[in-house]
Structure 1
Amino acid sequence: MRDQALLDKIDLHLIRVLHTVLTERSVSRAAVRLGMHQPAVSGALKRLRDLAGDPLLVRSGAAMLPTDAALRMVEPAGAILRAAEALFSDARGFDPRSATRTFRVAASDYLDPRFLPRLVARIKSEAPLCPIDILALTPDAHYHAHLEQGEVDVVIGNWPQPPSDLHMGRLFADEVVCLVSCEHPAVRRGWEPEDWLAAEHIAPTPTHPGARGVIDAHLESLGLSRRITARCAHFSAIPDIVASSLLVLTTGRQYCERYTEQLPLAILPCPVPFPPLMYYQLWHARTHQSAAAMWLRDCVKAVAESLRKQ
């Protein structure tokens, strides 16, 4: 009976205030994000503290920190908000002009430096009221878990073997080439496979612990390995690094061609044969029939196709 009485005191707005205050760790910042006056947020926080029997946020010097109980509430509160967001939108169909749901896209920047800007521009043009979160594929987070938990709508990147339990849409295939400085010796004299393997290579930081990229996974299948002497979590910074060094970046031609007009870089054939790089978008079964998610996936595919035509 007590649980029912407690539930009757909780509404969705209160859950949104809870999640925002805990993630922002600031009443004033939460007020700005929620579009509320600060006293109204403070009043809602007082109600939440009374309901939880816990202070939720405590002061530590100049900062506010969530209590242990509050930390345990962040993910359930986020899950409730995501479920509520999708509860009626798909039942009524998805109208991008009037929709207000948030789209969450996790993507590497390996594909094309123009891809994410074009994708955001298309979504904001066709669904102007929908917020967009572009999330990185970081080493400390596994995209599979984010899709499963509903924290991400779609993940975009390339993989040697995409997980069989996720839905997959092919975007395009690309030739594997090498990007080097115009001053690299291989530009003048070329190279054999052993020269390429012995060269100093730069590679992206793995997307999650233990992950192997498509280049090194293929080399391993051939019984080969290259000499990686630099790694960088920011793929878009690598061309500048390559231009001012003798490092070699091995990736897709489409990505490399975007930089050769801006920087003193050259594209060379890779002396070790590779199959084409395959770029995909992945999504979970929970959003497979979602009208909003289907619209988003169509946008991703259309933007990828438009870049291939340039």
Structure 2
Amino acid sequence: MPRAAAPLDTHLLRVLCTLMAERSVSRTAIKLNQSQPAVSNALKRLREIFDDPLFSVDKGRLIPSERAFDLHERARSALAEIDGMFSAPKQFNPARAQLTFRVGSPDFLSVVFLARVVERLRREAPHVHLSVHALGPDFDYQRALADGELDVVIGNWPEPPGNLHLAMLMEDEIVCVVGRNHPFARKGLTAEEYLRAAHIVPMPYSVAHRGVVETHLASMKLSRNAAVVLPYFGMAMHLLPGTDLVFTTSRHFAEHFAAYLPLAVLPAPFDFPRMRFYLLWHERTHHVESHRWMRELLGAVGRQQLAG
């Protein structure tokens, strides 16, 4: 039986592989730039570790045992893996890459932003898959990033978490949306009317997340009437026509729906901060070339979004 606890290092594996190729202790010593006694000592250690003679001598030539042949294949494979650890990583080629990127995103970005991301991804990296994970209050996106369940998260935190890498994706004006026949659609709305109105409010998509609107109103010791609370932003637009409801969201999201639904987009009556969208990622992917490429693609689409 092999001595499992015996030390087996890469030097011994290289000696074994070279002995198999050269079938000579002296030529192995020359090939490895070692002395013959050093190679002979390594062979002795190999024999002790694997409890097998490994080689016999016939007419001055080493003859491998069956065990040596078996070990040789495994040693070559192990050395190739070890050498690969120290070789330069392969250059990422998006046109040929076959991998999956996992993105966590609130649903309000899927309409415009992610549509453009998918368009570019299919054009530039046709073999790359994209898996989009919905964010919700019961989903720990920070753990998911750390564990590799997600590669990047998109969100609009007033104060993004400080323990992750961060890049600004884009920012947008906050507006109000109502049905086209709503009284506010013709005259706009005042701050007092806004606070009295019935609002559609999305559920927070993270345990630690508090939206820009709620944060700003709370800073003034104000709150709005959350008459309808929804898990998805896209639902809100379809509930507005024919009702007295108000929905507060980003302009790019509102104008997309207003192009084909009977809606009116109005200036917000409060000086809300601009809604800022961020990319968040973990240290484990920070230096990975393929992930850098994906983050750059997302950033480029964000800049395109701002340019219209």
Q: Which residue of 1 aligns with 2:132?
A: 134
Distance 1:126 1:137 in 2: 27
Can you list the C-alpha shifts for 1:39-91, whole angstroms capped at 9, x where unaligned?
Answer: xxxxxxxxxxxxxxxxxxxxxxxxxxxxxxxxxxxxxxxxxxxxxxxx89982
Distance 2:148 2:127 in 1: 21
The structure-2 alpha-carbon separation of the partners of 1:161 and 1:88, relative to structure 1 and needing over 3 Å to count, comes to farther
The structure-2 alpha-carbon separation of the partners of 1:206 and 1:264, relative to structure 1 and needing over 3 Å to count, comes to same
Distance 1:220 1:150 in 2: 35
Contact 2:198/2:226, CA 8 A, preserved across alignment: yes
Q: Which residue of 2 aligns with 1:184?
A: 182
Contact 2:190/2:269, CA 8 A, preserved across alignment: yes
Distance 1:157 1:90 in 2: 34
User: Within the alignment, does 1:272 sit opposite 2:280 as a pair?
Assistant: no
Superposition deviation, residue 122 in structure 1:
1.5
The structure-2 alpha-carbon separation of the partners of 1:89 and 1:120, relative to structure 1 and needing over 3 Å to count, comes to farther
Q: Which of the residues 216, 219, 229 maps onto 2:217?
A: 219
Where 1:177 maps in the other structure, the secondary structure is: strand
Where 1:243 maps in the other structure, the secondary structure is: coil
Superposition deviation, residue 188 in structure 1:
3.1
Superposition deviation, residue 307 in structure 1:
2.5
Q: Which of the residues 283, 290, 293 maps onto 2:291?
A: 293
Can you list the C-alpha shifts for 1:213-269, whole angstroms capped at 9, x where unaligned?
Answer: 121111111211111111111212211111232211111111111121201111111
Alignment TM-score, normalising by the size of structure 2: 0.69
Contact 1:201/1:248, CA 8 A, preserved across alignment: yes
Percentage of pairs with the same residue: 41
User: Within the alignment, does 1:149 sit opposite 2:119 as a pair?
Assistant: no
* Runs of at least 5 residues in structure 1 that lack an aligned partner in the other structure: 5-86
Aligned residues: 226
The code of the aligned residue for 2:111 comes to: P
Superposition deviation, residue 189 in structure 1:
3.8
* Runs of at least 5 residues in structure 2 that lack an aligned partner in the other structure: 5-84
Q: Which residue of 2 aligns with 1:262?
A: 260
For the aligned residues, what is the CA RMSD? 2.1
Contact 2:153/2:279, CA 8 A, preserved across alignment: yes
Q: Which residue of 1 aligns with 2:81?
A: none
Superposition deviation, residue 199 in structure 1:
0.5
Superposition deviation, residue 112 in structure 1:
6.2
Contact 2:171/2:306, CA 8 A, preserved across alignment: no
Alignment TM-score, normalising by the size of structure 1: 0.68
| Worse-matched range after superposition: 283-292 or 204-213 | 204-213
Distance 1:233 1:112 in 2: 14
Contact 2:157/2:276, CA 8 A, preserved across alignment: yes
Q: Which residue of 1 aligns with 2:194?
A: 196
The code of the aligned residue for 2:250 comes to: G
Distance 2:109 2:234 in 1: 10
Distance 1:278 1:299 in 2: 18
Distance 1:141 1:90 in 2: 36
The code of the aligned residue for 2:267 comes to: P
| Worse-matched range after superposition: 190-199 or 292-301 | 190-199
Contact 1:139/1:208, CA 8 A, preserved across alignment: yes
Distance 1:210 1:106 in 2: 15
Contact 2:137/2:207, CA 8 A, preserved across alignment: yes
Q: Which residue of 2 aligns with 1:117?
A: 115
The code of the aligned residue for 1:181 comes to: G
Distance 1:306 1:223 in 2: 37
Superposition deviation, residue 192 in structure 1:
2.0
Distance 1:157 1:139 in 2: 13
The code of the aligned residue for 2:217 comes to: L
Distance 1:117 1:189 in 2: 33
Contact 2:182/2:242, CA 8 A, preserved across alignment: no
Distance 2:150 2:177 in 1: 32
Structure having the higher Rg: 2
Superposition deviation, residue 210 in structure 1:
5.8
